[in-house]
Amino acid sequence: MNIQWDADRYAQEFAFVPKYGEALLALLDPETARTVLDLGCGGGALTERLRAAGYTVCGMDSDKGQLAAARRAHPDIRFFRGNATDFSLETPVDAVFSNAVLHWIDRERQPDALACVFRALRAGGQFVFEMGGAGCGAQIHAALRQAFERRGLAYRVPFFFPTVGEYAPLLEAAGFRVTFAALFARPTPLAGEQGMADWIRMFVRAPFEALPAAEADEIIREAVEDLRLRLYQNGVWTADYVRLRCKAVKPA
């Protein structure tokens, strides 16, 4: 997970990411969680929601731009830089909260991330998270794959989108006890006439890294037109999101 984000554009055009993550807050048990780490905090919108709910919270992210934006917007919260697959805390926390982060981590590195979270929690601590789940963006990635293959190019989905059956064993192998897990569709409206093209450019970067800009633009145009009949209605683009939402506990 080594993405350089345009923090201002992310906050303006993709505010749905933290907005939808607010529902995840209900999974935290305030009776047993006072200190919380927001893992992959981005611009700090959900970190602030946690603080407003009464938690003592800090935020961690790997992106300098996002951290700078978070510190500007929320100067009373501590934010620090760290990698989700290789971090440690001086003092364990009661809960780790994470929204829209874990699907950016390759399957092979998931055990590393979960081991870090496990160590960061006190005994009895909670890990509450949401990530992309199996089938997330399936129509979008199928359209991109077809556009790539028409040019003799290979396309690999640059995310890890697991089922409950795939992810629960990873949590258990890390030492967690899974107390809640749900996989659900969450169609997500995108902003503006260029919403789908903007989404692809913001989030689907790795497959385009070796391509000339003109060819990348052509592929995106083709994919968007292919998707228009299915994901564009009444002037609004909708991404075919699927989410995996879980709560796991570190045994006391």
Domain range summary for the chain, segments of one domain joined by +: 7-136+159-191+239-249
pLDDT at 8: 52
Packing angle of the helix pair 64-73, 45-52 (nearest 10 deg): 40
Q: Determine the Cα angle at 137 with ends 171 and 141, to 5°.
A: 115
Distance CA 28, CA 118 (A): 16
Question: Which tens digit of pLDDT belongs to each residue from 10-43?
Answer: 455 544 455 676 789 999 999 999 999 999 999 9
**Over pLDDT 70: what percentage of the chain?**
92
For the chain, the average pLDDT equals: 93
Packing angle of the helix pair 138-149, 195-203 (nearest 10 deg): 80
**Could you tell me the pTM of the whole model?**
0.91
Distance CA 19, CA 33 (A): 22
What would the CATH number be for the domain defined by 7-136+159-191+239-249? 3.40.50.150
Cα–Cα distance list, 200 to 20, 55, 229 (Å): 19, 35, 17
The yes-or-no verdict on residue 9 having pLDDT over 70 is: no
Token representation of residue 120 = 């960061």
Q: Residue 158: how many CB atoms within 10 A of its CB?
A: 17
User: CB-based contacts of 222: which residues, under 8 Å, 6+ apart?
Assistant: 143, 147, 150
Q: Residue 202: how many CB atoms within 10 A of its CB?
A: 15
Question: Which tens digit of pLDDT belongs to each residue from 219-231?
Answer: 999 999 999 999 9
Question: Which tens digit of pLDDT belongs to each residue from 122-180?
Answer: 999 999 999 999 999 999 999 999 999 999 999 999 999 999 999 999 999 999 999 99
Q: Residue 145: how many CB atoms within 10 A of its CB?
A: 17
pLDDT at 80: 97
Distance CA 174, CA 183 (A): 21
Question: Which tens digit of pLDDT belongs to each residue from 187-234?
Answer: 999 999 999 999 999 999 999 999 999 999 999 999 999 999 999 999
Residue labelled with tokens 């913001």: 202
